[in-house]
Structure 1
Amino acid sequence: MEDFLYEDYANYTYDEDAAPHEEPVFQHRSACTRDALCVSLLVITAAVFVLGFCGNGLVIWISGFKMKKTVNTTWYLSLAISDFIFCAFLPFSVAYMFMERWIFGYFLCKFFSSVLFLNMFSSIFLLAIISVDRCVSVVFPVWAQNHRTVRKASVIVALAWLLAVGLSLPSAVFRDVQNQMGRTVCYNNYTSHRQSHQIVVLSRFVAGFVVPFFVISVCYSVIILKLRGNRMTKSSKPFKVMTALIATFFVCWLPYHVFVLLELNHQRYGRYVLSVGLQVGTCLAAANSFLNPVLYVFMGNDFQQRCKSSLLSKMENALGEDGRTTSRYLSRSSSVDARASTHI
């Protein structure tokens, strides 16, 4: 994610005396195949690409073309599109990691990074939106039943994407290509805007992690307390699923943001530490794109009971539950129709 130039955190150089465009005196050769960590990350990233591309593509096909449009399918379709686009661009990252040089030109350097950050933010915002929607449906079932509409959900999704576009613009502005020690690199050029690096990183951390994680944690905590307060709730599955959602978001995104923040003061930390940290953090962040359909779709209620049906039938049933999971725990104590779309 953060620039996909893991081995060279000095991309954020402010040395105005540097001569980045001098002709190289030797030809750079990739050493990735001789590095166990690099090979491992290549394999993991390739696996994320295959699983995420296929999994999210299947969700898009089912929720977008095989099912009636509902609020839930609107959330899932938008989330799947975001993760699908992210995974579709991962081969560029794999090629860059393997060759340790950028061969796709100036335009794709800017476009590639911008698209990745666009989908990073849109995916995270949609996860937060889904959490708020579920919380409102549980705490205010009457209001949710009367006001949750596909049109309003579509407007919210559009606003989330617009905000994501705004936050991804710095990648297009500061991304650059240069020849460096015998290789072409795609990097962030903050030489003329020394404070921009700090502003961009901090804004990404706050908008892309702190606020969404707070919203997700609060919403699912409220749902858990609501369900635990209901004496008719006997199954522990909702609590396990929601705990998994929070833990997955935290584990996938925290390491990435930690090392990006450490990079702001890279003089205090070893080159190897930052390099490895950025590689591992980026890989974990990418893994979130194929874990989303698993957690938000495939873990739908009664999934195990549908094992005899086809894969497409399973997904269609899971996506179309439209709130039956949480309502099952609340229906005996609520006078409201349990079809308030509180799917967990």
Structure 2
Amino acid sequence: MDFTYEEFTEFYSTLNYSYESNEGDNTPHEESVYQHQSTCSKEIFCVSLLVLNVVIFLLGFCGNILVIWISGFKMKKTVNTTWYLSLAISDFVFCAFLPFSITNMAMDEWIFGQFMCKFAPSVMFLNMFSSIFLLVVISVDRCVSVMFPVWAQNHRTVKKASIVVVMSWLLAIALSFPSVIFRDVSSHMGRTICHNKYNSNQHVIVAVSRFLAGFIVPFIVIVICYSIIILRLRTNRMTKSSKPFKVMSALVAAFFICWLPYHVFVLLELSHQNYNHGLLTAGLQIGTALASANSFLNPVLYVFMGNDFKRKFKSSVLSKMENAMVEEGRTTSRYLSRSSSMDGRASTHI
């Protein structure tokens, strides 16, 4: 399949970049240069991406429904289950809108109208940011619980956690709004496409802001938080198991591996004239596939990293998820209680 630079996808051909000149020309750039000559079904690479997208959709959709059901209806509402529920909702909505992208890629045409052209990409960006922000919130919460156990035990409440979640979603909405403003439908090469009507400056501002707010700053915060946690736990020798370190490392690694390629190729696309067209197109598509894969990796990490795999493998999927979540809550409670008693003993010697 031949793609124009205006048809680069940010999320599986749904969130593609396109430009309009500052002179009022609303026709996508280089329309007369590239001709659409084939369909996705004739390209092995495109078919492979479609299959991968469908797998991501099914796993993410079903996996996050299970997490939502367990954390929202089967478990007592706590701060931890509030984080799990919010993150699962974010990932679930992200997956729920993937069929729009999959259909657009398969048909090589946007058939859902102008409203969905603006709404679907903005919702997908909303969930991209909200998911990342919630990962940051979870990291900060764990760090605070380890560094200030007495304060955390007295002040970590479901109400405050819910307020933090709402604030995270509001910030995500603000950062997702450019898709509502600049997204539009137009005719291109005899077919309907959904594209961004950016000029060069607007494109740079949006891409860089998404990179900073959606990757660099969150990643730095997550790494700092988990580094502090690991150092604190090792210093106090309050855990003999290496499992907490493995879970933390897995979460950080999953975040980094899933999102770095996407942001790198989006930034490279800003100066697309300096790079090979086919390589840049393939890189953007693969990068977005990895980014979306993070939406089903989170439930997997909850299940298989939260408790012993061999023992959990014999139980049902629902029991795996519920026990994994309960185990982390009990571990945190035991740590807070033990830290509180240690602080109490320390205060009697001062």
Instruction: Give a deviation string over 1:99-139, Cα, whole Å, max 9, x none.
Output: 11111111111001000000000000000000111111111
Q: What does residue 174 of structure 1 align with?
A: 182
Residues in 2 aligned to 1:259 and 1:90: alpha-carbon distance in whole angstroms: 20
SS of equivalent residue, structure 2 residue 236: coil
Are positions 1:46 and 2:54 aligned together? yes
How far residue 310 of structure 1 moved from its aligned partner, in angstroms, is 2.6
Question: Letter of the aligned partner of 1:180 in structure 2?
Answer: H
Q: What does residue 258 of structure 1 align with?
A: 264
How far residue 196 of structure 1 moved from its aligned partner, in angstroms, is 1.4
Q: What does residue 292 of structure 1 align with?
A: 298
Residues in 2 aligned to 1:161 and 1:127: alpha-carbon distance in whole angstroms: 12
Residues in 1 aligned to 2:335 and 2:151: alpha-carbon distance in whole angstroms: 18
Q: 1:5 to 1:308 in 2, by over 3 A?
A: closer
Are positions 1:12 and 2:13 aligned together? no
SS of equivalent residue, structure 1 residue 335: helix
Q: 1:315 to 1:336 in 2, by over 3 A?
A: farther
Q: What does residue 346 of structure 2 align with?
A: none
Q: Which has the higher contact order (CA 8 A, sep 6+)?
A: 1
Q: What does residue 340 of structure 1 align with?
A: none
Which segments of structure 1 move beyond 4 Å, counting only runs of 4 or more?
6-9, 15-19, 27-30, 326-334
How far residue 8 of structure 1 moved from its aligned partner, in angstroms, is 7.3
Q: What does residue 309 of structure 1 align with?
A: 315
SS of equivalent residue, structure 1 residue 69: coil
Are positions 1:150 and 2:165 aligned together? no
Q: 1:80 to 1:57 in 2, by over 3 A?
A: same
Q: 1:129 to 1:52 in 2, by over 3 A?
A: same
Instruction: Give a deviation string over 1:276-310, Cα, whole Å, max 9, x none.
Output: 11101100000000001122454213454344433
Residues in 2 aligned to 1:51 and 1:100: alpha-carbon distance in whole angstroms: 24
Specify which of 75, 88, 93 is matched with residue 96 of structure 2: 88
Are positions 1:229 and 2:241 aligned together? no
**Is 118-127 or 327-336 further displaced after alignment?**
327-336
Q: Is the 8 A contact 1:122 1:164 kept in 2?
A: yes
Q: How does 1:243-282 map to 2 (within 5 A)?
A: 243-282=249-288
Residues paired across the two proteins, number? 331
Q: 1:130 to 1:233 in 2, by over 3 A?
A: same
Q: What does residue 342 of structure 1 align with?
A: none
**Is 277-286 or 259-268 further displaced after alignment?**
259-268
Residues in 2 aligned to 1:16 and 1:277: alpha-carbon distance in whole angstroms: 31
Q: 1:302 to 1:142 in 2, by over 3 A?
A: farther
**Is 328-337 or 233-242 further displaced after alignment?**
328-337
Specify which of 58, 69, 77 is matched with residue 69 of structure 1: 77
Question: Letter of the aligned partner of 1:320 in structure 2?
Answer: V
Instruction: Give a deviation string over 1:2-31, Cα, whole Å, max 9, x none.
Output: 25438976x23538586739x99xx96652
Are positions 1:321 and 2:327 aligned together? yes
Q: Is the 8 A contact 1:56 1:84 kept in 2?
A: yes
Kindly report the root-mean-square deviation, in angstroms, between the aligned alpha carbons of the 2 structures: 2.6
Are positions 1:196 and 2:202 aligned together? yes
Residues in 2 aligned to 1:181 and 1:15: alpha-carbon distance in whole angstroms: 22
Q: Is the 8 A contact 1:33 1:98 kept in 2?
A: yes
Residues in 2 aligned to 1:336 and 1:290: alpha-carbon distance in whole angstroms: 39
Q: 1:17 to 1:145 in 2, by over 3 A?
A: closer
Q: What does residue 219 of structure 2 align with?
A: 213
Q: 1:333 to 1:189 in 2, by over 3 A?
A: closer
Are positions 1:185 and 2:189 aligned together? no
SS of equivalent residue, structure 2 residue 195: strand
Q: Is the 8 A contact 1:6 1:275 kept in 2?
A: no
Residues in 2 aligned to 1:37 and 1:55: alpha-carbon distance in whole angstroms: 27
